[in-house]
A and B are shown apart, each in its own frame.
Chain A
């Protein structure tokens, strides 16, 4: 306990010295951001008929589902009384962004993602329920919801309904992650968070991270399953990543320039924080390594003709750096917002522990868990049917 006081510089209100929201709360927007981004990439194909990214359609949906299932766990580990979290659904306070978000999350999971995945895979599910054996057969049977009809007409209807859901799904995905931004952006007590541009910044950084993730996952899964990578697909994804990045970067720079120009009462304190305690994570990791370098790499690929191998390598590097950069962005928002005093006269430090409920270890495990779930999902609902002829030569 005393160590926290030793980490305080200047004056902080006595109750402010210990951080309230830990790395688990950094993880949460990171994970839900990946969901929103992956979904929007999937919807590019479905709604805007971007044929090139079709190979990643199903994989994007499964990735979104895997991450969506894991993200509430980070919240549950953080809550003082997770057994009471159901209260958010029983007696939601309609003025609370956090409460309303519970319903948006539920809507998105049930009415959008699960339904869309089910409709797209229904034919394979029914086929595997008919032909499968043992436990697997029962799983597929349950997933059919008792319907055995995969006639042309029923699949046509599925396709129409699926398209409709994707159309609703796009604003739902926007709402999903924009809302998380609003949870921070609406806190007038905290000048680092309080800005109307926060939901939009969160949304675009979500899209950037989601697209980067799908790019990486597609290349990794293809490599694992010995499938040929569709270069047209990854080239298109990389282009969309660049566009999203440029918008995201512009928005963040706009916020920064606005702050520096207006220089309100909080500016001196925040400026000092960015130059000292937040320098490594904000300037070095988020801005330089996580934004400027990936943008440069992706722009380079657009401007210069490169071989397939070179492009793949650069894409992997850019996507990896992007994910690190977006994680750093979440860190800088959540942790950064708690490092300075609301009196603007002092700073504290974040003492992250390792093997405690809100420590680094559970965070690492929660970052690995979605990939485990994704592996199970890919086994259960293969994104690319074996007869599609995409085997490597």
Chain B
């Protein structure tokens, strides 16, 4: 044995050091790798729970329909029926969870409408578009259009026609204050 390691014993020391280092590494790995790592793939399984645990900010249209049946009825038959409540009314999970805790504010009655309906070359033709200078300035839009059922009695303009042009003049709104849109 002595003969075997004569003059090589320093190399054995290096090897021992390497092995010791490797063991320390294994110990560190056992202690530091988070529990659940690798359960579903190369990631910490708890990350799925973390992603699931975020708080809700939007309640969703079903939550609106559950309490506000009257609005659902009012919107029946209108193109706006397909729009989620919170698209205009903002995120309302807090209100859905506890209605008294958060009373939603009435949304803007001009700029919000124009956000979708303002004339824009990149906007597809199926959505009615207006140039506010030719249609109903200074607004508000709700002076004439009920927000939950904006379609009006007279025949609708041709698809793609911008309301308020020579093709379909509409003129200034009636001189009355903004109505409370309760329906």
Contacts and interface: CB of A to CB of B under 8 A. Distances in A.
Given A91-B33, A93-B42, A145 B10 contact: yes
Contact of B37 (A86, A91, A154, A157): A91
Interface residues of A, number: 20
Given A145-B13, A145-B14, A145-B17, A90 B7 contact: no
For chain B, give the interface size range: 10 to 19
B7 A149 contact: yes
B11 interface: yes
Classify the interface of chain A: helix, strand, loop or mixed.
helix
Nearest to B10: A147
Contacts, number: 41
A81 interface: no
Classify the interface of chain B: helix, strand, loop or mixed.
helix
Contacts of B8: 154, 157
A89 B42 contact: no
- Give the most central of B9, B28, B38: most A CB within 10 Å: B9
A91 B21 CA distance: 18
B52 interface: no
A111 B18 CA distance: 9
Given A90-B28, A145-B13, A154 B33 contact: no
A153 interface: yes
Given A86-B32, A89-B25, A91-B37, A122 B10 contact: yes
A89 B32 CA distance: 11
A360 to B, nearest CB: 35
Contacts of A149: 7, 9-10
A85 to B, nearest CB: 12
Contacts of B17: 145
A3 interface: no
A369 interface: no
Interface of B: 6-11, 13-14, 17-18, 21, 25, 28-29, 32-33, 37-38, 42
Interface of A: 86, 89-91, 93, 110-111, 115, 118, 122, 144-147, 149, 151, 153-154, 157, 161
22 contacts: A86-B32, A89-B25, A90-B29, A91-B33, A91-B38, A91-B42, A110-B18, A110-B21, A111-B18, A115-B14, A144-B10, A145-B13, A145-B14, A146-B13, A147-B9, A149-B7, A149-B9, A149-B10, A153-B6, A154-B7, A154-B8, A157-B11
